[in-house]
Amino acid sequence: MKPHHFITAIVATVFTAGTILFAAEHAALVSPDDALAKLQAGNKRFATSKITEGKPVAARRAETAQSQHPFAIIVGCADSRTPPELVFDQNVGDLFVVRTAGNLVGEHALGSIEYAVEHLGTRLIVVLGHERCGAVKAALATATAPGHVNSLVRDIQPAVKAAKGKAGDPLDLTIQENATQVAARIRSEAKLGKLAKNVRVVVGVYDLDTGKVEWPKE
Ligand SMILES: [Zn+2]
The reported pTM is 0.87
- pLDDT bin (cut points 50, 70, 90) of residue 12 is very low
Q: How far is CA 196 from CA 32, 102, 170, 215, in A?
A: 12, 24, 33, 21
Each residue of 179-207: pLDDT tens digit?
999 999 999 999 999 999 999 999 999 99
Residues pairing with 214 in the sheet? 205
Q: Which of 71, 28, 75, 32 is nearest to 199 (CA)?
A: 32
Each residue of 125-179: pLDDT tens digit?
999 999 999 999 999 999 999 999 999 999 999 999 999 999 999 999 999 999 9
Determine the distance separating the centroid of ligand 1 and the alpha carbon of 175, expressed in angstroms.
9
Q: Is 3.40.1050.10 the CATH number for 31-214?
A: yes
Each residue of 44-65: pLDDT tens digit?
999 999 887 788 899 999 999 9
Residue 165: strand, helix, or coil:
coil
pLDDT higher than 60, residue 39: yes
- pLDDT bin (cut points 50, 70, 90) of residue 218 is low
Q: What is the pLDDT of residue 50?
A: 86
CA-CA distance, 100 to 153, in Å (whole number)?
A: 12
Determine the distance separating the centroid of ligand 1 and the alpha carbon of 28, expressed in angstroms.
32
CA-based angle 35:130:100, to the nearest 5? Answer: 85
Q: What is the pLDDT of residue 5?
A: 53
Determine the distance separating the centroid of ligand 1 and the alpha carbon of 23, expressed in angstroms.
34
Determine the distance separating the centroid of ligand 1 and the alpha carbon of 150, expressed in angstroms.
15
Determine the distance separating the centroid of ligand 1 and the alpha carbon of 156, expressed in angstroms.
12
Q: Which of 130, 126, 129 is nearest to 200 (CA)?
A: 126
Determine the distance separating the centroid of ligand 1 and the alpha carbon of 190, expressed in angstroms.
22
Determine the distance separating the centroid of ligand 1 and the alpha carbon of 74, expressed in angstroms.
14
Determine the distance separating the centroid of ligand 1 and the alpha carbon of 119, expressed in angstroms.
28
Each residue of 83-112: pLDDT tens digit?
999 999 999 999 999 999 999 999 999 999
pLDDT higher than 60, residue 18: no
Dihedral pair phi/psi, residue 201, rounded to 5°? -115, 125
CA-CA distance, 176 to 162, in Å (whole number)?
A: 10
Domain ranges, ordered by start, for the chain: 1-29, 31-214
